[in-house]
Amino acid sequence: MKAMKPKVLFVAHMLRGHVLVFHLPYMKWFQEQGYEVHLCSCNDTGKPVTEVPCCDRFFDLPFQRSPFGRQNVQVYREIKKLVDAEDYALIHCHTPVGGMVGRLAARGARKRGTRVLYTAHGFHFFTGAPLKNWLLFYPAERFLARFTDLLITINREDEARARRFPARKTARINGIGVDLSRFDSQADRAAVRAELGIAPDAPVVICVGEHSARKNHETVLRACAGEKDVRVLFGGVGEREESLKTLARELGMAERTHFLGFRPDVPALLQASDVFLFPSLQEGLPMAQMEAMAAGLPCLVSNVRGNADLIGPMDGGLLRAPMDAEGFAQDLRFLLEHPEVRREMGERNRRVIREYSLDAVLQQMAALYREELEAKG
């Protein structure tokens, strides 16, 4: 009789928005080690999904982003039923809602020896966060930590707070890993610019990320408004796109601002640009910034958790308060006037980002997985 494979379960509330972007290499690692990989997530692709890469069984559950969503009660019951029926060696939870329902559902399994991990991709409580975030999310995460064998963080601020929580163990890793192979070949800078109608010698500022309040794209426009030759590239989609287009018109920037939507060729767009400008209000450890570093760009970023973990003043870029459009404008002017500084910062960023590569982070996670599985016995 053929021996059954040991099983692991991944829990994250969005399939397209999280699992397909971040977790497949780690699910693949488990399959390569001989494990059967199960996944609980919500199909947010907009089309039917019967198979997920690197996954043996996919459970499509109606997660809601709000922790108070009524459907999350149903999700909890479904996951608990699944966990009680399967003898999982390890359960790895991601996203706040996935971490909440997954860890609560796994309480009984944990008593039976299942190891329960949670990766915090950026706590919702942080220095400068609204009071409601501290009142809601801080006590919730502290409570849930008691049902966690390993609490993983991705930046220094979160790591310091997690250490005070009652999780059995904490660790910090270098994000979810940048696939540096996507930056191995140099894009045809002139061809990319020609496609966008941008002159070869025009200064180009790029910002990649969801068009949401948290990403603060308005400050990008205001910082670039005074530099009449600068072209601005926005990669991404989101609810604030129309208001950003309105602001670009009001600032007289409509003709030199490019809203590119979702693009699969982000490395080429980055390599065709000169400066990465990223004044976000909140981050965990931003993939957009890490990809800009991999492309060899200097980074003008807000001095918030995550951003400041990756660069320091004149060390790969420059830091400002998120809403300091005038300060960002000064820094942008400085970099445009000093190409040698841009080049030095970009070279530094290419060196540093190797520590955050997908291969490096996969090694970190593999070591943590092995340690937890050995502890299970």
Give the model's confidence band at 2: pLDDT under 50 very low, under 70 low, under 90 confident, else very high. low
pLDDT at residue 377 in the model: 66
Enumerate the H helices of 86-224 as residue ranges: 96-105, 107-111, 131-144, 156-162, 189-196, 217-224
The pair of three-digit structure tokens given for residue 152, joined into one six-digit string: 């993983």
- Could you give the angle at which helices 325-337 and 217-224 cross, rounded to 10 degrees? 50
Task: Retrieve residue 309's tokens.
Answer: 């973990």
Q: Which residues pair with 8 in a beta bridge?
A: 37, 90
Percent over 90 (pLDDT), the chain: 92
Asked whether residue 331 carries a pLDDT value surpassing 60, the answer given is yes
pLDDT for the residue 10: 98
Instruction: State how far the Cα of 98 lies from the Cα of 10, in Å rounded to an integer.
Output: 9
Per-residue pLDDT of 263-309, as tens digits, reads: 999 999 999 999 999 999 999 999 999 999 999 999 999 999 999 99
- Transcribe 10-74 into DSSP letters: EE-S-IIIIIIIIIHHHHHHHHHTT-EEEEEE---SSS--S--TT-SEEEE----SSTT-THHHH
- Distance between first and last Cα of the chain: 23
pLDDT digits (tens, 9 = 90+) for 92-130: 999 999 999 999 999 999 999 999 999 999 999 999 899
Reduce the DSSP state of residue 202 to 3 states and report it.
coil
DSSP β-ladder status, 170-172 and 36-41: unpaired
Confidence at residue 216, expressed as pLDDT on a 0 to 100 scale = 97
Tokens of 347: 């070279």
Give the domains, in start order, of the chain with CATH numbers.
7-177+357-376 (3.40.50.2000), 180-356 (3.40.50.2000)
Please give the structure tokens belonging to residue 41: 């997530």
Q: Mean pLDDT, to the nearest integer, of 241-268?
A: 95
